[in-house]
Amino acid sequence: MSSAAALLLRPTSATTHPLLHLPSPKSFVLRLHPSRRRLPVPRLSLTPTTSSNSNNSPPLPSPPHPSPEPAAPPSLVANWSPPRAIWRGLSALLLAGQVFHRVLTGRVHRRNLLAQLRRVGPGSAGVALLTAAFVGMAFTIQFVREFTRLGLHRSVGGVLALALARELSPVVTAVVAAGRVGSAFAAELGTMQVSEQTDTLRVLGANPVDYLVVPRVLACVLALPVLTLISFALGLASSAFLADSVFGVSVSIILESARRALRPWDLISSLLKSQVFGAIIAVVSCAWGVTTHGGAKGVGESTTSAVVVSLVGVFIADFALSCLFFQGAGDSLKYAMG
């Protein structure tokens, strides 16, 4: 047993007691005077104190802290993201490639394709035909007035037929389809995207491209040429009716002039243009729909943007195809005059 025991405490007041002996003002040691024996009381301290018996060795140096490495300068493209229009355009190209591959391999949902055909064809026929009729009559007013003054009233039918077949009918039909069908495609797919219904299709094992995109693209490619032909026929008929009833140019003169001016290639080029326009409208609308985010506001923005981009694409494609199909000087009006 140790011969001495002490309890190091911090003094609170200068007091005296017959059993306590205070050796110093900084600390006191508990001593038992009656028995003169020091009990083995462990030394406690609430605050670190310096011991008189401690070695006078210097404190161990702390390990040096590693100096922080200098931060690398921020890269110019670290936080850069491409504009939304760029990656949407790339997604449209990628989607077009997927649709083309699935059509070649025969992966087409036929029942959904028939439903979309009824929607694009008969569902849009009324608006397309009404628009074509009034466009034909508006052009008739301008052509008949000017050509009659020049004594070229026999060539009015040929000019109207060429304008309707080569440009007006496919472009007007495409504009109507973009406004009616393209906006519906973008809104539907955008709503499915923001509500995660496309993810549900993937969980169920169905590919959204096969089930949603391919039928819509094929429906536009197949239905727009038919609508274009009907619009051309109705536009020419309304033009002949207006020329006969208002300006006194016989219907037979209009139709005979149109028959002489038209060539099979004029109608074939019109059908090819309609197919290209239908593909542009469907692919752009579907691509803008499946890349929608932001809730109801994002759906509205995607729908508006899809219609605008589709129309711009239609006009650009019309110019490119016209330059490709009709090169050099033409002689169609020479035959239209009889």
168 in Cβ contact with 139 (< 8 Å) = yes
Instruction: Tell if the pTM clears 0.85, that is, is over it.
Output: no
Average pLDDT over residues 96-107: 90
Task: Say how far apart CA 150 and CA 136 lie, in whole Å.
Answer: 21
Which residues make Cβ contacts (< 8 Å) with residue 117, sequence separation at least 6? 219, 222, 223
24-61 residue pLDDT tens? 444 444 454 454 555 455 554 444 555 444 455 555 55
174 in Cβ contact with 60 (< 8 Å) = no
274-330 residue pLDDT tens? 999 999 999 999 999 988 888 888 898 989 999 999 999 999 999 999 999 887 656
